[in-house]
Structure 1
């Protein structure tokens, strides 16, 4: 085979591969969205399970200081105890700096690998509605946006608010805070159409949250099938 033919063959193969990959991604996102919608009642059942806890008003904010090892350990133990008490389980999310967006992607699409799409949507929300969010940022807003759009940059409570607003979702955080077990982040000017459940090991890590009834495994089984 000539060099030119070889190049054409590789180019054609690459094009087919890219097209196939994009098609698979579109199908996966569609299936994930349908599963999430179909199981929205399951999310509401989590809310009913924790209804007696109440929740605190959410104030968007940037990230605070990372706790020292001793406090972080105590926080994690407190979170694990709460998960056990209320029959909840964490779907473990990779700790690569994208954990908030990965956890949201798992809840929305049943696929944490769509974290880039979630971050992009959140950034679009933050840019389009600047006046709604910039007052919560203790730095020049353009600097904040430039920083937050980078893959690996930790999400904060402002990006959670923007995600709630963008996706029309109530985001429920089961936290490791000593005095605050549950935080609810509701979309502004919208009635939420779904609930997204995350665990929050405070200032350290986010995971995706489910009831311990095999729902996540059932969803994964459908996606694989």
Structure 2
């Protein structure tokens, strides 16, 4: 049978091992997981203390002591008041007053021991629920980004005498919108006759034109790429990779057009920098950040009738 001294030695080793585990867990915790890790470590320390107290009491014949490491309800209320919003406090205090009462008597007339761990979990659940409700209220008070963006865009359309032609949000929208604009100003897309190309396939010609220009002018684009030029060109030419400023620049130079992009903010103009005798045509695009489910999107803007 284990002696008291041997038990003390074992207990000290268990405490030392647990401290090492706790330290390791806290080091690995992130900002998001830190609260949960701290709670887990507290529970491990409490469980070890309770077991060691029971083993010590069994060996010495003493009564098993009450666990004191879980804070009283009054202490928790005070701590909660300093670390949570009024909304969280209200829910927490209401829960404590309505569901946490003095322990009822058991069948033999002795008071039941309070389940402090269960009480603490109930308080934490109430606090989390209240925090979620507060977040929902804050979100509801934020302006609707879609509505704000749409309102500003419509004002710019009216100011410039433009109407919007919707483009399918399929990853090809920039190239489809440019193809529609080129057809409006009478600029051929290139290759075969435009009349022989189905409308929903014209983006492919524009994609190839942008890819071809980027590939032929690497010094103008390599500094802005995060991947090899050949790999980037292949994606623009052969996949549904979204187009952006680099592709607009390539298309402005390829077709000698001035591309005006209306957006929620200052309008953007991409010029061809061509010094030819012919004045560049102006084409118009609408750029959205919030109004389409896939994210960023371009529509074509035509002159109002």
Fold shared by both chains (TM-score > 0.5): yes
What TM-score, normalized to structure 2?
0.43
Using the TM superposition, give the Cα deviation of residue 88 of structure 1 relative to its aligned residue in structure 2, in angstroms. 1.7
Q: Measured at CA, do residues 101 and 145 of structure 1 come closer, stay the same or move farther in structure 2, by a change above 3 Å?
A: same
SS in 1 for 2:238: coil
Using the TM superposition, give the Cα deviation of residue 137 of structure 1 relative to its aligned residue in structure 2, in angstroms. 1.8
* C-alpha distance in structure 2 between counterparts of 1:138 and 1:74, whole Å: 33
What is residue 197 of structure 1 aligned with on the other side?
Answer: 284
Using the TM superposition, give the Cα deviation of residue 77 of structure 1 relative to its aligned residue in structure 2, in angstroms. 3.1
What is residue 35 of structure 1 aligned with on the other side?
Answer: none
What is residue 207 of structure 1 aligned with on the other side?
Answer: 299
* C-alpha distance in structure 2 between counterparts of 1:201 and 1:116, whole Å: 22
What is residue 98 of structure 1 aligned with on the other side?
Answer: 172
Using the TM superposition, give the Cα deviation of residue 148 of structure 1 relative to its aligned residue in structure 2, in angstroms. 1.8
1:89 is the counterpart of 2:177: no
Alignment of 1:157-196 (within 5 A): 157-177=245-265, 180=266, 182-191=267-276, 192-196=279-283
Alignment of 1:87-166 (within 5 A): 87-110=161-184, 111=199, 113-166=201-254
Deviates more, 1:110-119 or 1:87-96: 110-119
Name which structure has the greater RCO, CA cutoff 8 Å, separation 6+: 1
Using the TM superposition, give the Cα deviation of residue 72 of structure 1 relative to its aligned residue in structure 2, in angstroms. 4.6
Using the TM superposition, give the Cα deviation of residue 112 of structure 1 relative to its aligned residue in structure 2, in angstroms. 5.6
Select the structure of larger CA radius of gyration.
2
State which of 73, 76, 83 in structure 1 corresponds to 2:150. Answer: 76
SS in 2 for 1:149: helix
* C-alpha distance in structure 2 between counterparts of 1:93 and 1:174, whole Å: 15
What TM-score, normalized to structure 1?
0.56
Once superposed, what is the RMSD of the aligned Cα atoms?
A: 2.2
Alignment of 1:56-75 (within 5 A): 70-75=144-149
* C-alpha distance in structure 2 between counterparts of 1:130 and 1:70, whole Å: 41
Using the TM superposition, give the Cα deviation of residue 79 of structure 1 relative to its aligned residue in structure 2, in angstroms. 1.4
Q: How many residue pairs are counted as aligned between the two chains?
A: 142
* Residue deviations 1:54-84 (CA, integer Å, cap 9, x gap): xxxxxxxxxxxxxxx9545532332123223
* C-alpha distance in structure 1 between counterparts of 2:209 and 2:228, whole Å: 21
Extract unaligned runs of 5+ from structure 1: 1-68, 214-225
* C-alpha distance in structure 1 between counterparts of 2:222 and 2:203, whole Å: 23
What is residue 116 of structure 2 aligned with on the other side?
Answer: none
SS in 1 for 2:240: coil
SS in 1 for 2:157: helix
Contact kept in structure 2, 1:164 and 1:171, CA below 8 Å: yes
Extract unaligned runs of 5+ from structure 2: 1-142, 185-198, 290-294
* C-alpha distance in structure 2 between counterparts of 1:151 and 1:83, whole Å: 31
* Residue deviations 1:4-35 (CA, integer Å, cap 9, x gap): xxxxxxxxxxxxxxxxxxxxxxxxxxxxxxxx
